[in-house]
Structure 1
Amino acid sequence: MEEQGLVLENRGDEALVKITRHSLCSRCAQKCPMASMEHETDEIEVLVSNPVGAEKGQLVKIEMGEKSLVTASLLIYLVPVIFLIAGYFAGIYLSGFIYDTTPGETAGIIGSIVFLLLSFLVVSYIDKKLGQKQKYQPVIKKIIGSSEQ
């Protein structure tokens, strides 16, 4: 994935970069009704690796590996769903031991909610661990030019 951004601050091996994100429709060449509507843009500030030595005010190309992006997306979207389903069955299974009756839907729903909340903690922990690895860090690949502010 490639993005362009403006360097706000040089911090040696890292740089603080402002990236303007656009919706996918805003970049689409099709002339469908969705493309003609106003689309949301969002400015974010990201701390990125700066091996090229970009300075404040320069426009840069930032890149993050596709494989890393897919792995992060799977983590964020699939882990909570897996925990949600596992929590439902765990709730039903455990309710048989606790209430000594036929497993109920309520126990499954409660188990789903508990496991879903637990999944957010697990995702947060894994995110911190993966965030420390270099391959999951965005990197400035080249300096495009300067920006007049």
Structure 2
Amino acid sequence: MEELATVVKSKKNKAELKIVRYSACSKCDKSCSLAGDSHDQDEIVLEVEDKIGVTAGDQVLVEMEKGNLLFATVVVYVIPIFLMIIGYFFGVWMASLFGIAAVELAGIAGTFIFLILSFLINKMFNSYLEKISSFKPRIKRVINRN
């Protein structure tokens, strides 16, 4: 995945980049109630390793490998849903194991417990992936010099 970014600051071997994110409705001139606040633009500021020597004001192309982005997406979005489903059935199983009559309530409790567990797993994955350089965005090339 590639994004266009502007260099905000340039340090020794690091560059602070600003990426402007557009919503699906950002180019729409209509003001409909379905879009809500999505006509707005968001800016993301991130720090990346600068191997090509950029300066403040440069427009650069930032890249993250598609496979790594897909893996991160699965970890963040799919694993919590999967664990919530497992949590429900785990709660139901535990309730039937201990003879608790409120089986549905135990399933719901299991869902919430496993949802919290998924957040902890995501936090551990995030700490682990921050150390791997292939999961970090990198500057591919300079599009426009300042």
Structure 1 and Structure 2 fold alike (TM over 0.5): yes
Q: TM-score normalized by structure 1?
A: 0.84
Counterpart mapping for 1:24-103 below 5 A? 24-26=24-26, 35-37=28-30, 39-98=39-98, 100-102=99-101
Question: Within the alignment, does 1:135 sit opposite 2:128 as a pair?
Answer: no
Q: Structure 1 regions of 5+ residues with no counterpart? A: 28-34
Kindly provide the amino acid, as one letter, of the partner of residue 52 in structure 1. I
Contact 2:26 2:41 in 1 (8 A): no
Distance 1:101 1:120 in 2: 28
Give a deviation string over 1:60-82, Cα, whole Å, max 9, x none. 11111111111111111101001
Q: Are 1:112 and 2:105 an aligned pair?
A: no
- Aligned-residue Cα RMSD (Å) equals 1.8
Structure 1 segments, 4+ long, off by >3 Å, are: 24-27, 35-38
SS in 1 for 2:51: coil
Query: What is the letter of the counterpart of residue 97 of structure 1?
Result: L
- Match in the other structure for 2:121: 122
Decide which structure has greater helix share: 1
Q: Secondary structure at the match of 1:12?
A: coil
Name the SS of the counterpart of 2:121 in structure 1. helix
CA distance, structure 2, for counterparts of residue 37 and residue 120 of structure 1: 38
Residue 37 to residue 70, structure 1, CA distance change in 2 (3 Å): farther
Per the normalisation by structure 2, the TM-score is 0.86
Pairwise CA distance, 1:101: 3.9
Alpha carbons of 1:48 and 1:37: their partners in 2 closer, same or farther (altered >3 Å)? farther
Q: Which moved more, 1:37-46 or 1:72-81?
A: 37-46
Tell me what 2:6 maps to.
6
